[in-house]
Amino acid sequence: MAEDHGDDMAEIREQDRFLPIANIARIMKRSLPDNAKIAKDAKECVQECVSEFISFISSEASDKCQQEKRKTINGDDLIWAMSTLGFDNYVEPLKLYLSKYREVSPRLQRAREQAVGG
């Protein structure tokens, strides 16, 4: 019984590590013709690549936060990490998106101001 629990924990960790395969498939289908089919191994490959990419960017942003003695990674940290890692083509569109997001999210803005000020 204890072994089964250990196996369940390993599954949970792997499941938490990846975005849901249905979401991956939906995004992939949007960029293909309606009659296109996507093999299961292709979906799984993209799922793993996306996870690795997220980890790569997040790790760089996390290192920056640790050096600055901060505990929370924010959007600016992620954009900085993307620039640092050579994903410069994404920086300006992401800055624009983040700016617009912050404009329409006043609750987030207030929470950010309170965290910095208090």
Q: What is the pLDDT confidence band of residue 14, given thresholds at 50, 70 and 90?
A: low
The arithmetic mean of pLDDT across residues 51-65, rounded, is 96
Domain locations in the chain as residue ranges: 2-117
pTM over 0.85: no
Backbone region of residue 86 per phi and psi (left: phi > 0; alpha: psi in -120 to 50; beta: other values): left
- Residue pair 84/60 in contact (Cβ under 8 Å)? The answer is yes
More confident residue, 15 or 101: 101
Model pLDDT, residue 1: 47
Helix axes 40-67, 21-30, angle to 10 degrees: 100
CATH number 1.10.20.10 given to 2-117:
yes
Q: Could you report the per-residue pLDDT of 94-114, keeping only the tens digit for each?
A: 999 999 988 888 776 677 778
